Structure 1
Amino acid sequence: MLKSSALNWNELADRALAGELLTREAAHAVLNAPDCLLLEQLAAAYRVRYHYWENRVRLHFLLNAQSGLCPEDCHYCSQSKISTAEIEKYPLLAKEKILDAAAQAKKLQAGTFCMVISGRSPSERVFTQVLDAVQAVKANYDLKICACLGLLSQEQTQRLAEVGVDRVNHNLNTSDDYHSQICTTHTFGDRIATVENVKAAGITTCSGGIIGMGESDDDVIDLAFSLRELNVTSVPLNFLIPIPGTPFEKIQELNPRRCLRVLCLFRFVLPAQEIRIAGGREVHLRSLQPLGLYPANSIFIGDYLTTPGQATHSDLEMIRDAGFAIESPDGSPIETDSLKTMTSSV
């Protein structure tokens, strides 16, 4: 195996910028680099990130529009049928509550409003209500909408496109080889099929994974390579929160440096993609959260599905203090003075 000390991180960045795929040997070296090289890794990953995104940070606002009562057995999820976690469980929120959440997303300068519902796949009744809510948000707020609705058919993705959904999220979560260890009620192929259906409908693809579920380095690398092969546009990376009441409640494999190395790997493999630090950012990166912005260019602001996020003003201060700029919905950076005003008002 290639030793991390033998790698030239800037050369690795040059290759990523040239569109070359990392060798598996180099990918292993990225994940297993010693802590003393971490800042060099981050600097090289930032070169790639800056080429495509400069110092902008894109914000996403997440709404858990339907919670719990899911028939799937995903071992990491507090909403699955096998979870005993104490969470709120409710059917699809009324359109008025969804609009209230969209108004909050707009206030926070989020570029994307993410609507998530629990379940394997939406029933026709729920799906119709989602379509109606999307149209209402589009009519009232200038927000891009990302829908995360479970497994979707070609007909469903086409209907989402017709009402103006900008993006559909459906995570691969892990590698093909490891998928059966985290879920048995659907396959890795089912997830690939949904992403392909999204692409066929002309909707922007959003797909990522969860790190820290007991997977091997090869599984992490395979996930990154699969996302590159699918040419997904947006890549949310979650870090497992071992929620009491789920089968993975006792898994504790992550530390901040491991998370940062994973983010660097994904930036080298997916140089032009939006890479978002998603669930588990506050839990696992902790005091090193600002360093995550060097390989990644996007975060969720506010809460996640069933777990709380960092206070909004803390996120905004983190971005400002690290010298980054929030990306406005039109793609331009928000000036520092405006960011100070936002920070003081939330």
Structure 2
Amino acid sequence: MTDYMQLANKALNDEPLTRAESLSVLNSPDDDLLALLHAAFQVRSKYFGRTVRLQMLQNAKSGACLEDCHYCSQSAVSNAPIERYNLLPQKQMIQGAREAAASKAQRYCIVISGRSPLDREIDEIAGAVRSIKQEIPIQICCSLGLMSDEQAKRLKAAGVDRVNHNLNTSEAFHESICTTHTFQDRLSTIKNARAAGLEICSGGIVGMGESNDDLIDLATALRDVKPDSIPLNMLNPVEGTPLENIDALTPQRCLKVLCLFRFLHPRTEIRIAGGREHNLRSLQPLSLYPADSVFVNNYLTTPGSPAPEVWGMIEDLGFKIEVDYQQPVAG
């Protein structure tokens, strides 16, 4: 029987788990889940206490992507019935930031579809970010696809705090879910963003058919990236995408993965991201024992939990929302 507290103590001493220990977490019996969560919470509590940070997404450009990411409803290989539109006007991006602040979000993330942003899209987003920063001291994250060092520098100059660019999965499994860009392409974008002085948000997607070893390899690759934040998405299989028939995750499996990432990334913000409602279902509250951050409201093309519902879950756990700026007065 695995001693989960021993794994927690290794994490607290900044000692990486061995592959065998990591596999023991992913293969742990469901009956051990409460013991595993207790151990992971000791690590989470050490570095994040009982606080939770919220984040809200703005899908600022939807569809019309030429990439073939198999999990994505906006990709070239998807015929999912989603809303498709070009880049939103700046006023809508600014309004999104106001809604994020009203939702008690620490961070507002502007996301666009496509392989890489056009120069004019960088200009428009930069203009919106400058206006937002003049009005609301919320942190701004951008997820814009593959980016050059010059594009990253322009975002930094506009006031963007952080760039999201997920590794998504292990390097070995990457070609199984995307062939139009490589794992190394993604690492290059992260390198460009960091060189520009931007914080890094990078995580992955669980449940795409990857093996336990792929999950461990993803977590290990992220240790090399050293992101400031790790969002863990749980595949929500959308009809019309190549992965529409893959729906094998259980709430217990998702919680074990979150615990593993907490052990391997003890000091890093870990966010429960897309697909949590679909996959965790009634066990969603338990995910905040290993994780310390969560999305509110909608995702990119699927609905999420409204902010007041998330606030209630956090309060019921005896946790507290952490936000470091003055909230706007409603009305």
The question of whether the paired residues in 2 share the 8 Å contact of 1:13 and 1:45 is answered with: yes
The question of whether the paired residues in 1 share the 8 Å contact of 2:122 and 2:155 is answered with: no
The question of whether the paired residues in 2 share the 8 Å contact of 1:109 and 1:329 is answered with: no
Distance 1:274 1:105 in 2: 19
| 1:307 and 2:313 matched | no
Q: 1:32-65: per-residue Cα shift (whole Å, max 9, x none)?
A: 0001111011001000001110000000011000
The question of whether the paired residues in 2 share the 8 Å contact of 1:69 and 1:118 is answered with: yes
| 1:108 and 2:108 matched | no
Amino acid at match of 2:101: K
Report the more deviating stretch, 310-319 or 292-301. 310-319
1:28-43 → structure 2 map (5 Å cutoff): 28-43=23-38
Offset of 1:188 from its aligned partner? Answer: 0.3
1:338 maps to which residue?
none
Q: 1:7-51: per-residue Cα shift (whole Å, max 9, x none)?
A: 211111111011111100000000000011110110010000011
Amino acid at match of 1:262: V
| 1:17 and 2:17 matched | no
- Shift >4 Å, 4+ stretches: none
Percent of counterpart pairs with the same letter?
53
Distance 2:239 2:19 in 1: 35
1:172 maps to which residue?
167
2:259 maps to which residue?
264
The question of whether the paired residues in 1 share the 8 Å contact of 2:271 and 2:292 is answered with: yes
TM-score normalized with structure 1 length: 0.93
2:150 maps to which residue?
155
Q: Any idea what SS the aligned residue of 1:63 has?
A: strand
Distance 2:273 2:250 in 1: 16
Amino acid at match of 2:65: C
Q: Alignment partner for residue 213 of structure 1, among 208, 211, 229?
A: 208
How many residue pairs were aligned?
A: 330
1:200-239 → structure 2 map (5 Å cutoff): 200-239=195-234
Distance 1:57 1:221 in 2: 25
Offset of 1:133 from its aligned partner? Answer: 1.0
Structure 2 gap segments, 5+ residues each? none
Structure 1 gap segments, 5+ residues each? 335-341
Q: Any idea what SS the aligned residue of 2:172 has?
A: coil
Amino acid at match of 1:43: H
Q: Alignment partner for residue 140 of structure 1, among 109, 113, 135?
A: 135
Offset of 1:134 from its aligned partner? Answer: 1.0
The question of whether the paired residues in 2 share the 8 Å contact of 1:148 and 1:169 is answered with: yes
1:90 maps to which residue?
85
Q: Alignment partner for residue 242 of structure 1, among 237, 241, 244?
A: 237
Distance 1:60 1:252 in 2: 26
Distance 2:307 2:323 in 1: 16
Amino acid at match of 1:170: H
Report the more deviating stretch, 321-330 or 89-98. 321-330
